[in-house]
Amino acid sequence: MNINYKFAASVENGQGIPHIHQLELLNDTHRYQVVVAGRRFGKSVFARGKVILEAMHNPGLYWIVNPTYRQGKTTHWEQLKKEVPRDLITYKNESELVIDLKNGSRIEIKGAENKDSLRGIGLKGVVFDETADQNPSTWFEVIRPTLLDSEGWAIFIGTPRGFNWFYDLYLRGIDKSETQDPQWKSWRFTSYDNPTLKAEEINKARDETDEDTFTQEYMAEFVKFKGLIYTEFDRNIHVVEPFDIPDNWEIIGGADFGWNNPTAYMFIAIADNDTWYIVEEYYEREQSSRYHCGNIRSTAYALGLRNWASYGDPSATQEMDEWSLEGVPVSAARKDMGTNMTNWVGHGIGMVKKRLQIDSITKKPKLLVFKRCENTIKEFMSYRWKVNRSEGHEVPDRPEKKDDHLMDALRYAIVSYSRRGDIWEFPVEQLFDKHGFY
């Protein structure tokens, strides 16, 4: 559909007319579009305009999917109500964020906190907003199948967040990239590409922002996060295709307990040469211990495990007791660096970083991740230092309490595990859990 006319209603420039780059996007006919854009480029306005116009001319169900319900309501809902022509609206629901049109189309704003709630609905079109902040399985496992019957379209918009799955999608629409797909088209726009913004305002933001942040947020370039903890992690090196685990390899687990935050668990296979492979992950919110443990046990049995060691947050005594009753014993992670939390956390991070480093002899790292462990990969690429101001400059202190759940699970395992031949490295009293077992 060639859309060389006004938006359904007003856009950011106040004229009701898309700027030149928004018009370029609206006129494109690729089934899948990836729009990487700097702040205030107008990507959200474009996305809503695309959804409204398609809904007006091609009746069906259309979604704008955000990382959370709250983000969707804040970013899109109020504007969407203004942009859809009033005489076309037959129904509007403020709590469900739904608008119905006279022709039978429905536009919904969704949050992806519970991806299973998004299953089973046939869509004509979908927009992923802040794509880099979303779980890739929401697209690949949940949303993508809903487009099959209708041969629907998808648009992915956002600002870069390191080299994560949003970057992979971007490469699909780039000419001559190794993963180029003819159904995909990608663009990268900077904040300067919005002709309605004054360049001097962006220049002011550049002067007041550090270079890395400006490059990512305004120039929309894929760069590593500022303050990234695991700078050694490179998905081209550390992410590998899954394979069958040899029977003689040991498998252990790491657990981080949560409720509003996810409960996270990982299985780690340890090769004869002491290379660690993160082979499975579990990542769920707001579920009971029985629910979590049932899923974890199922994965363990699929790996051929009946008894295995796993390690968790030593302060979570109640959760560890509950899990033990549900058949997933978790021992308190060993604080072999004493009780100072900052030192202990830093010690564990240091052990992970050492395994991520490329060995000078083998030219390989000692820690690898199976490609299917998407949340683990995402956290490796977004786990950052908390920054405090001290003596007039910013210094790293301790990790941010964000994107850290599987990273904590890994840290608990790495500070606690030792092979039989390495037991001498730990004080004897630390070789036993609270029940007196290894």
List Cα–Cα distances, 182 to 29, 126, 172, 175, 176, in angstroms.
11, 19, 8, 9, 11
Higher pLDDT, residue 32 or 6? 32
In this model, does residue 393 exceed pLDDT 50?
Answer: no
Residue 338: predicted pLDDT: 53
CATH class of this structure's domain 235-431 = alpha beta
The 3-state DSSP class for residue 323 equals helix
DSSP secondary structure string for all residues of 329-380: --EEPP-TT-S-HHHHHHHHHHHHHHHHSPPTTT-S-SEEEETT-HHHHHHH
Provide the token pair at 124.
């004509």
Q: At what angle do helices 289-302 and 317-325 cross, to 10 degrees?
A: 60
For the segment(s) 20-209, the CATH number from 3.40.50.300, 3.30.565.10, 1.20.1260.10, 3.40.440.10 is 3.40.50.300
In this model, does residue 325 exceed pLDDT 60?
Answer: yes
The 3-state DSSP class for residue 22 equals helix
Judge contact between 26 and 53, C-beta under 8 A.
yes
Provide the token pair at 49.
């305009």
Q: pLDDT band at 435, cuts 50/70/90? A: very low
User: pLDDT per residue over 79-126, tens digit each?
Assistant: 999 999 999 999 999 999 999 999 999 999 999 988 778 887 889 999
Q: Please report, in angstroms and rounded to a whole number, the separation of the first and last CA atoms in the chain.
A: 66
Provide the token pair at 76.
């899109």
What's the average model confidence in pLDDT over 218-234?
A: 82
Domain with CATH 3.30.420.280 in the chain: 235-431
In this model, does residue 428 exceed pLDDT 50?
Answer: no
In this model, does residue 192 exceed pLDDT 80?
Answer: yes
Q: What residues have CB less than 8 Å from 55, skipping those under 6 apart?
A: 62, 101, 103, 105, 106, 107, 124
Dihedral sign, Cα of residue 92, residue 93, residue 99, residue 105:
negative
Residue 336: predicted pLDDT: 66
Q: What residues have CB less than 8 Å from 290, skipping those under 6 apart?
A: 326
In this model, does residue 2 exceed pLDDT 50?
Answer: no
Q: pLDDT band at 16, cuts 50/70/90? A: low
Residue 438: predicted pLDDT: 32
Percent share of the chain, pLDDT over 90: 58
Domain with CATH 3.40.50.300 in the chain: 20-209
Gap between the Cα atoms of 31 and 394, Å rounded: 45
Mean pLDDT of the chain: 85
What's the average model confidence in pLDDT over 266-295?
A: 93
